[in-house]
């Protein structure tokens, strides 16, 4: 998004981004972007919701690893997650990866810290390299939660968030409005509106994990 904005300030740009887009200066506010940029925002605050869901699904957890891309997640966001873990008498371990090569070593570090669960935070790096993340979590026997429902369907344990096709359709709707003559600066940034909870029972079985029935009843999809 930053590269597109640097390339042009006149051609409409519609994209997907996190709430921190305002801090980058790409837009003025969600309600009134005030530039040639608009799009659909993914709510990064769901990282905390996912952490709570993971702890509910894996009762007895005493230490949790938090996998983050530091180029995407602000230190203040990480502090909130760490504080939330400590408030529940858990030991948090933040591990970071900035590129593909750093993902597996970071996850290994989380496991070495004593973590028995893993919160994979929202960041483009992890879904793009989801095979590495999912397979490493399986190898380390770490119950993990992910941003995109598709990641649980592809072998991850749990995922909670919007589905990619629906988010892309929202963005396409904004593109259609631009083609009809609306100006990006007047098109409010939209938020993803539907969030699915997906649990992969095959992965749970492989991990020897018994997820509480009350949790499973709340899932939108169970992968068997």
The predicted-structure confidence for 172-208, as pLDDT tens digits, reads as follows: 999 999 999 999 999 999 988 889 999 999 999 999 9
Task: Give the chain's radius of gyration (CA, Å).
Answer: 18
* Spatial strand order in the sheet of 37-41: 13-17, 37-41, 190-191
Contact at 8 Å (CB) between 146 and 158? yes
Contacts of 82 (CB under 8 A, 6+ apart): 66, 92, 94
List pLDDT tens digits, range 106-132.
999 999 999 999 999 998 899 999 999
Number of CB atoms found within 10 A of residue 175's CB: 13
To the question of pTM greater than 0.95 for the whole model, the response is no
User: How far is 14 from 116, CA to CA, in rounded Å?
Assistant: 40
- What is the tens place of the pLDDT at every residue in 90-112? 999 999 999 999 999 999 999 99
Express each pLDDT in 42-60 by its tens digit. 765 789 999 999 999 999 9
Distance CA 221, CA 224 (A): 10
Beta strand pairing status for 190-191 and 196-200?
unpaired
d(CA 153, CA 127): 13
Q: pLDDT at position 19, please?
A: 67
Contact 188, 30 (CB under 8 A): yes
Residue 74 makes CB contacts below 8 A (sequence gap 6+) with 20
In percent, the amount of the chain with pLDDT more than 90 equals 77
Q: Which of 185, 167, 171 is nearest to 11 (CA)?
A: 185
Q: State the average pLDDT over residues 160-172.
A: 92
* pLDDT score of 44: 58
Domains and CATH numbers, the chain: 46-161 (3.40.50.2300)
């Amino acid at each position: 998004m930053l590269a597109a904005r640097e390339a042009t300030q006149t051609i409409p740009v519609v994209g997907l981004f996190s709430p921190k887009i305002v801090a980058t200066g790409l837009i003025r506010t969600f309600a009134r972007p005030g530039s040639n940029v608009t799009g659909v925002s993914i709510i990064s605050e769901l990282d905390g919701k996912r952490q709570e869901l993971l702890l509910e699904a894996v009762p007895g957890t005493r230490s949790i690893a938090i996998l983050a891309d530091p180029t995407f997640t602000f230190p203040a966001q990480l502090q909130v997650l760490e504080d939330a873990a400590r408030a529940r008498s858990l030991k948090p371990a933040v591990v970071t990866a900035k590129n593909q090569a750093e993902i597996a070593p970071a996850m290994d570090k989380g496991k070495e810290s004593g973590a028995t669960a893993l919160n994979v935070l929202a960041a483009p790096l992890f879904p793009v390299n989801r095979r590495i993340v999912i397979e490493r979590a399986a190898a380390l026997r770490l119950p993990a939660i992910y941003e995109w429902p598709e990641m649980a369907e592809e072998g991850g344990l749990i995922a909670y968030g919007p589905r990619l096709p629906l988010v892309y359709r929202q963005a396409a709707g904004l593109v259609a409005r631009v083609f009809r003559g609306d100006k990006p600066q007047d098109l409010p940034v939209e938020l993803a509106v539907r969030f699915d909870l997906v649990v992969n029972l095959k992965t749970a079985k492989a991990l020897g994990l018994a997820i509480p029935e009350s949790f499973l009843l709340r899932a939108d999809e169970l992968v068997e």
